[in-house]
Structure 1
Amino acid sequence: MNLRVVLTPGELRPGEVAGACVFVIDILRATTTMCAALHHGAKAIIPVTGIDEAREVAARFEGEGEGEGERPMLAGERGADPVPGFDLGNSPGEMTAAAVAGRLLVMTTTNGTRALRAVAQAASVHPLAAVNFSAAVQRARSVRQDGGRVVVVCAGMVGQPSREDAYCAGRFGRDVVGSAGGAGLSDQTRWCLDLAEEFGDDWYAALMASTAGRKLSEHGYAEDVRVAG
Structure 2
Amino acid sequence: MKIDIITTGNHVTPESVKNTTVIVIDVLRATSVIISALKNGAKSVVPVTSVEEALETKKKLENVILGGERKAQKIEGFELSNSPLEYGSTAVYDKNVILTTTNGTHAISKSSAANKVYIGALLNARAVSEKVAEGGDDVVIVNSGTNGQFSMDDFIASGAVISEMLSIRDYELSDVAKTALLIYKAHPDFLSYIREARHYKVLMDLGLEEDIRLCLHKDLYDIVPEYKNGIIKLNF
Same fold (TM over 0.5): yes
Distance 2:73 2:17 in 1: 31
Distance 2:96 2:82 in 1: 15
| 1:43–1:101 contact (8 Å) kept in structure 2 | yes
Structure 1 length-normalised TM: 0.87
Name the residue aligned to 2:221. Answer: none
Structure 1 residues 98 and 4, CA, compared in 2 at 3 Å: closer, same or farther?
A: same
Residue 102 of structure 2 aligns with an amino acid whose one-letter code is T
2:2 counterpart SS class: coil
The one of 87, 93, 96 aligned to 1:101: 93
Encode CA deviations 1:19-68: one digit per residue, 9 max, x unaligned: 4221100000000111100000000011111111111111122xxx4xxx
Unaligned runs of 5+ in 2: 217-236
C-alpha displacement at 1:149, in angstroms? 2.4
Size of the aligned set, in residue pairs, is 216
Structure 1 residues 180 and 24, CA, compared in 2 at 3 Å: closer, same or farther?
A: closer
Distance 2:201 2:19 in 1: 37
Name the residue aligned to 2:197. Answer: 210
Which runs of structure 2 are paired with 1:1-229 in the superposition (5 Å)? 2-61=2-61, 65=62, 70=63, 72-143=64-135, 147-178=136-167, 185-186=174-175, 188-200=176-188, 202-229=189-216
Distance 2:112 2:25 in 1: 15
Task: Give identity over the alignment, percent.
Answer: 31
Runs of 4+ in 1 over 6 A off after TM superposition: none
2:137 counterpart SS class: coil
Structure 2 length-normalised TM: 0.85
Distance 1:185 1:124 in 2: 20
1:60 counterpart SS class: coil
C-alpha displacement at 1:130, in angstroms? 1.3
C-alpha displacement at 1:182, in angstroms? 7.8
Superposition RMSD in Å:
2.0
Residue 12 of structure 2 aligns with an amino acid whose one-letter code is L
| 2:29–2:215 contact (8 Å) kept in structure 1 | yes
1:89 counterpart SS class: coil
Distance 1:7 1:13 in 2: 12
Encode CA deviations 1:169-202: one digit per residue, 9 max, x unaligned: 112112212599686632x3233123212202x1
Residue 204 of structure 1 aligns with an amino acid whose one-letter code is L
Distance 2:88 2:150 in 1: 30
Q: Which has the higher helix share?
A: 1
Distance 1:183 1:103 in 2: 40
Unaligned runs of 5+ in 1: none
Q: Which has the higher strand share?
A: 2
